[in-house]
């Protein structure tokens, strides 16, 4: 199959020019003016933007969590992602405490193989570190192409590891060319605030927010940066929400340290006033919670200052019936919200159209930096000869409205119902095949491939 995309405005992290792109098989073969290849399909991209396929490095598909499972599986989740211009996701494998990493890997392979429509990889969440697991960490990097290891400084008794385990893990990961990622919040402080609010009968979603004040994230982010500095390990903080945590990373730069940071769309565009809507606030119960306007300002600035490199989603959808598990107690509301489909279009409207970020920065944070940090560049994350033909043809002027009635995620409400956006994904190519054409997904479950990743070459 060959495709010729004519006359699009091609935008990468570094460049912006009008050109044709010719793809053959799974890759980009030529980029230039007035290309004359005879292709199986020609797409006129005049007046459209052409981006590298989006990479969302923070999603939870079919994940057992808080007594239930996230409602999008690999088919519905990667299809919804493609509709929004995200051609690849990185999901989280969760080690079960007391069991091996390979045990968990096999479980996640069953969830994904033959089911994914879009491409995917895994982060391995280490929830129980010991000498046997240390050996498996090396095997994951060397044999499986899984180079990023997720840790939790919260969710005690289920996912959290202590600081001793964290430092030991960092040493092994550093020696073998991987990186450690973290959910950085102080689990003990949060648990004690949850217990206090519950004992006082304060049980609405608002108290989810009040149980995780900014200091819990700022403290843990600083502690994580300190442990990285001590071990020399490359590290990445997921779903950063607030000024205090960003300042912890900024402080680390004073000792010439580099800590990579991801924020998520919701922390840039939503704020904690949504928790005042009684139980409807459960739609936005996630950890860490939404913050204040001043935190949004800090995060947008952090993106432009190069302190925040990636915008993901932390897509972890639950249907309303599942959210109702916490109707009488906020601590039982499954944490997470549906967002995988809207990341690229929301960020375009709220970031590019408002002038908060440039088009090049938009490509950097939605695709290129994730590919670089997680060992996939230049196969993924750019538009270049030899790269995978993962391309988004985007209409910057098309207006549309987000709604549960039209989204493709397997969830029965929208966290962004009625949001009016300008800029829409029109056509998506994944490894040289048309995945999305208008409202239609043309690929089947099983097309999505696992992407084996290379060692990190990051300078920290």
- Check residue 183 for interaction with Zn ion (CB under 5 A): yes
Residue 314 near Zn ion by CB under 5 A: yes
Nearest to 58 by CA among 318, 240, 246: 240
Does 350 participate in binding Zn ion (rule CB under 5 A)?
no
What part of residues 147-206 is at the interface with ligand URP (CB under 6 A)? 183
CB of 390 to ligand URP, least distance (A): 25
Q: In the bound complex, what is the minimum distance in angstroms from residue 331's beta carbon to ligand URP?
A: 13
Q: Which is nearer to Zn ion, 183 or 407 (CB)?
A: 183
Comparison of 183 and 408: residue with beta carbon closer to Zn ion: 183
Given the complex with Zn ion, which of 159 and 357 has the nearer CB atom? 159
For residue 286, what are its two tokens?
Answer: 């996630």
Residue nearer to ligand URP on the CB measure, 285 or 435: 285
- The answer to whether 177 touches 157, Cβ cutoff 8 Å, is no
**Per CB under 6 A, which of residues 33..72 are in contact with ligand URP?**
60
Q: Which helix (H) or strand (E) holds 321?
A: helix 320-323
CB of 264 to ligand URP, least distance (A): 9
Round to whole Å and give the CA distance between 142 and 453: 10
What phi, psi does 322 have (nearest 5°)?
Answer: -70, -40
Which one of Zn ion, ligand URP, none interacts with residue 335, CB within 5 to 8 A by kind?
ligand URP
Contact 179, 236 (CB under 8 A): yes
Q: Could you say whether residue 286 binds ligand URP (CB under 6 A)?
A: yes
Q: Which residues contact 269 (CB under 8 A, 6 or more apart)?
A: 296, 346, 350
Cα(98)–Cα(381) distance, rounded to whole angstroms? 36
Distances (CA, A) of 34 to 5, 146, 333, 339: 10, 40, 55, 38
Q: 85 or 336: whose CB is closer to ligand URP?
A: 336
Contact 169, 151 (CB under 8 A): yes
Q: Which two tokens stand for residue 106?
A: 């096999």
Stretch that binds Zn ion, among 116-124, 183-191, 200-208, 242-250 (CB under 5 A): 183-191
User: Pick from ligand URP, Zn ion, none: which does 323 bind, CB < 5 to 8 A by kind?
Assistant: none
Other Cβ atoms closer than 10 A to 247: 16
User: Closest residue (Cβ) to ligand URP?
Assistant: 335
Residues within the interface to ligand URP (CB under 6 A)? 60, 183, 286-287, 314, 316, 335-336
Residues within the interface to Zn ion (CB under 5 A)? 183, 314
């Amino acid at each position: 199959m060959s495709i010729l995309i004519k006359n699009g405005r091609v935008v990468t992290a570094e460049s912006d020019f009008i050109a044709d792109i010719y793809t053959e098989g799974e890759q980009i073969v030529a980029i230039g003016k007035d290309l004359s290849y005879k292709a199986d399909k020609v797409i006129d991209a005049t007046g459209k933007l052409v981006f590298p396929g989006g990479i969302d490095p923070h999603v939870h598909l079919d994940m057992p969590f808080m007594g239930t499972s996230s409602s999008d599986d690999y088919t519905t989740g990667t299809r919804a992602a493609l509709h929004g211009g995200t051609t690849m996701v990185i999901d989280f494998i969760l080690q079960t405490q007391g069991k091996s990493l390979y045990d968990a890997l096999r479980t996640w392979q069953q969830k994904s193989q033959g089911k994914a429509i879009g491409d995917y990889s895994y982060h391995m969440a280490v929830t129980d570190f010991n000498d046997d697991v240390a050996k498996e960490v090396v095997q994951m990097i060397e044999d499986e192409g899984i180079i990023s290891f997720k840790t939790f400084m919260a969710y005690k008794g289920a996912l959290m590891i202590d600081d001793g385990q964290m430092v030991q893990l960092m040493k092994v990961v550093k020696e073998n060319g991987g990186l450690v990622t973290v959910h950085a919040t102080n689990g003990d402080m949060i648990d004690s605030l949850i217990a206090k609010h519950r004992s006082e009968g304060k049980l609405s979603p608002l108290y989810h927010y009040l149980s995780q004040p900014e200091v819990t994230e700022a403290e843990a982010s600083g502690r994580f940066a300190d442990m990285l500095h001590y071990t020399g390990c490359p590290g990445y903080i997921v779903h950063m929400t607030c000024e205090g945590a960003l300042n912890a990373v900024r402080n680390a730069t004073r000792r010439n340290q580099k800590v990579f940071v991801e924020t998520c769309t919701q922390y840039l565009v939503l704020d904690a006033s949504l928790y005042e809507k009684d139980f409807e606030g459960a739609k936005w119960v996630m950890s860490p919670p939404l913050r204040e306007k001043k935190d949004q300002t800090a995060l947008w600035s952090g993106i432009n200052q190069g302190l925040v490199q990636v915008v993901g989603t932390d897509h972890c959808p639950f249907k309303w019936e599942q959210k109702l598990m916490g109707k009488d107690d906020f601590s039982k509301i499954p944490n997470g919200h549906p967002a995988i489909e809207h990341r690229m279009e929301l960020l375009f409207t709220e970031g590019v159209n408002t002038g908060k970020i440039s088009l090049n920065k938009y490509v950097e944070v939605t695709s290129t930096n994730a590919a670089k940090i997680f060992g996939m560049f230049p196969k993924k994350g750019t538009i270049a000869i030899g790269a995978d033909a993962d391309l988004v043809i985007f209409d910057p002027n098309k207006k549309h409205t987000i709604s549960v009635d039209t989204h493709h995620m397997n969830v029965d409400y929208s966290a962004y119902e009625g949001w009016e956006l300008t800029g829409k994904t029109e056509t998506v190519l994944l490894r040289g095949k048309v995945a999305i054409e208008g409202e239609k997904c043309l690929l089947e479950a099983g097309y999505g491939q696992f992407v084996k990743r290379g060692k990190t070459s990051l300078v920290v």
